[in-house]
Amino acid sequence: MVFGLPPYQEIFLLSLGLSLLMTLASKFLANQQEMKKAKKDMEFFREKASKAQKAGDLKKSNEYMSEMLKASQKQFRHNMKPMMFSFLIVILAASWFATTYADAKILSPVNIPFLGNELNWFWWYILIVLPFSTIFRKLLDVA
């Protein structure tokens, strides 16, 4: 135990911190304006391609799809730095969690499909990180 708290509380707090750290990395390591522009461009070209396809103009539809792919690649390039940083943090954290909380069993008050009601550190971490990453991304306006 790190903080002298029960394992489920420690893992919760550490997972929350890691989630915030990775969201901040995305915010500051990627150009948010470029990411938002690429996302908007992708949606624009997706709509145009869909309309062209419904109209039967496959040539125009393919052109729009090509432009959408370019916008997607641009967004991916901007997302590489934060993704690499997050990957490194997750690998280090996972190995530390695996040794520190190897025997920890977190009891869930409800039976979770496919997992049951007894979770190990990994599933507890996943259940914390996924929703809180989304919340932090919305609060911090991360693309």
Given this model, what pLDDT does residue 104 score? Answer: 92
User: Residue 143 corresponds to which tokens in the numbers above?
Assistant: 């693309």
Nearest to 129 by CA among 20, 7, 27, 34: 20
- Is residue 64 scored above 80 in pLDDT? yes
Interior angle at CA 109, CA 106 and CA 113, nearest 5: 85
Q: Give percent of the chain with pLDDT exceeding 90.
A: 89
pTM: 0.80
Helix axes 121-139, 58-100, angle to 10 degrees: 130
What band does 123 get if pLDDT is binned at 50, 70 and 90?
Answer: very high
Report yes or no: 11 and 104 within 8 Å, Cβ to Cβ: yes
Q: Which two tokens stand for residue 39?
A: 């996302």
Q: Does pLDDT of 1 surpass 70? A: no
d(Cα 90, Cα 44) in Å, to the nearest integer? 34
What value does the mean pLDDT of the chain take?
93
Residue 134 has pLDDT above 90, yes or no: yes
* pLDDT value of residue 143: 82
